[in-house]
Amino acid sequence: MEKLVIGHFYPDLLNLYGDRGNVLALMRRAQLRGIEVEVKRISIGDELKSGDIDIGFIGGGQDSEQNIMADDMRIKKGPVIKQMIEDGVVFLTVCGGYQMLGQYYEEHDGKRIECLGAMPHYTKGEKERFINDTVYEIEIGGKKVTVAGFENHSGRTYLGEGEEPFMKVIKGHGNNGEDGLEGVRYKNTFGTYSHGSLLPKNPAITDMLLELALKRKYGADYELSELATETEDLARKQALDYINGNTNGITNDL
Ligand code: GLN
């Protein structure tokens, strides 16, 4: 039986707007395919060794929480996380977690958080926050997929050399409100500003991440089995309808 180990980093500090739902979605869509899943909570002071995890998840946080975990991530776990990223371990990182993989995050008052420096992007905070229900587009397996999300950030992130955008912004601000780009992809590491949470209503992305992790572990020939997406598709349709103003009597109060 195949097994995946998901490392949930700093779950006690970085977990905004249902970010943990991403871990649950990865777990559920793997288990429904008969794949065993173990979730490890990895926080300040915890040891991390290479080979410990197949998928890493880092959620979003407030600036104050990013200040609390920054040194542990950079100094204690930094070399191992950097090596994992270079080795193609799958990572999904959201908002504050995405910012923390880059060079630095300069808060809107000018205070600088030194980040992990695993990737070249950097982030500058502004007073005005970007708060929106969002729509993005991504191509997965040659198919264009419309993605529903939610963003809430003061940071403006700029990608660097060797980094590809994760998605294209259709509605919302994405990385910085200027270049129409959303998130980052470097090897098998993904960063996004989308909370809300991203994976439960966008199963094509969940499956893409699972497949990357399983191919890495069990060989390039590994094929992820088919699995229905009706429930997730309904959730995405409702979110997209809401964003597009077709509420059909359904409101976000539900
Ligand atoms: N503190 C960061 C910002 O405001 C991240 C916020 C978040 O994770 N939602 O940009």
CA 66–ligand 1 middle distance (angstroms): 9
Whether 8 is a known active-site residue: answer no
Residue 248: inside a domain, yes or no? Answer: no
Average pLDDT, the chain: 95
Assess whether pLDDT exceeds 80 at residue 253. Answer: no
Cα 210 to Cα 218: distance, rounded to the nearest angstrom: 12
On whether residue 207 sits in a domain, the answer given is yes
pLDDT of residue 249: 54
| Average pLDDT rounded to a whole number, residues 137-155 | 97
Ligand 1 pocket: which of 58, 99, 121, 131 to mutate (most atoms within 8 A of CB): 99
Structural domain containing residue 119: 3-243
Residue 197 banded pLDDT, cuts 50, 70, 90? confident
- Predicted confidence (pLDDT) at residue 252 exceeds the cutoff of 70: no
pLDDT at 254: 41
Instruction: Give the residues surrounding ligand 1 with Cβ less than 6 Å away.
Output: 16, 60-63, 66, 95-96, 125, 152-155
- 198 CA from centroid of ligand 1 (Å): 16
Q: Kindly tell me the sign of the dihedral angle through the C-alpha atoms of 47, 51, 52, 57.
A: positive
Give the pLDDT band of residue 248 (cuts 50, 70, 90): low
Give the distance (Å) from ligand 1 centre to CA of residue 131. 11
Question: Is 254 within the bounds of a domain?
Answer: no
Among residues 8, 95, 153, 173, the one annotated as catalytic is 95
- Domain count within the chain: 1
List the single range of 99-103, 192-196, 227-231 with lowest mean pLDDT. 192-196
Q: Is residue 253 part of a domain?
A: no
Q: How confident is the model at residue 247, as a pLDDT?
A: 64
Task: Report which secondary-structure segment, H or E, holds 140.
Answer: strand 122-140
Closest by CA to 181, choosing from 130, 127, 136, 128, is 136
Q: Is 249 among the domain residues?
A: no
What's the CATH number where 214 sits?
Answer: 3.40.50.880
Does residue 154 belong to any structural domain of this protein?
A: yes
Rounded (5°) CA angle 87-92-93: 110
Residue 129 CA: nearest ligand 1 atom is 4
Q: What percent of the chain is modeled with pLDDT above 90?
A: 93
Per-residue pLDDT at 244 = 86
| Ligand 1 atom at minimal distance to the Cα of residue 151 | 9
Residue whose entry in the numeric block shows the structure tokens 């994405």: 174
Closest among 127, 85, 123, 84 to 104, alpha carbons compared: 123
Q: Is residue 144 part of a domain?
A: yes
What is the Å distance from ligand 1's center to 150 Cα? Answer: 12
Ligand 1 binding pocket mutation candidate from 17, 93, 95 (most atoms within 8 A of CB): 95
Determine the Cα–Cα distance for residues 146 and 66; give it in Å rounded to an integer. Answer: 30
Q: Is 195 a catalytic residue?
A: yes
Q: What is the pLDDT of residues 63-116, one digit of tens each?
A: 999 999 999 999 999 999 999 999 999 999 999 999 999 999 999 999 999 999
Atom of ligand 1 nearest to the CA of 66: 1
The mean pLDDT of 53-71, rounded to a whole number, is 96
120 Cα: distance to centroid of ligand 1 (angstroms): 18
Would you say residue 250 has pLDDT above 60? no
Per-residue pLDDT averaged across 196-224, rounded? Answer: 96
Looking at the domain assignment, is residue 97 inside a domain? yes
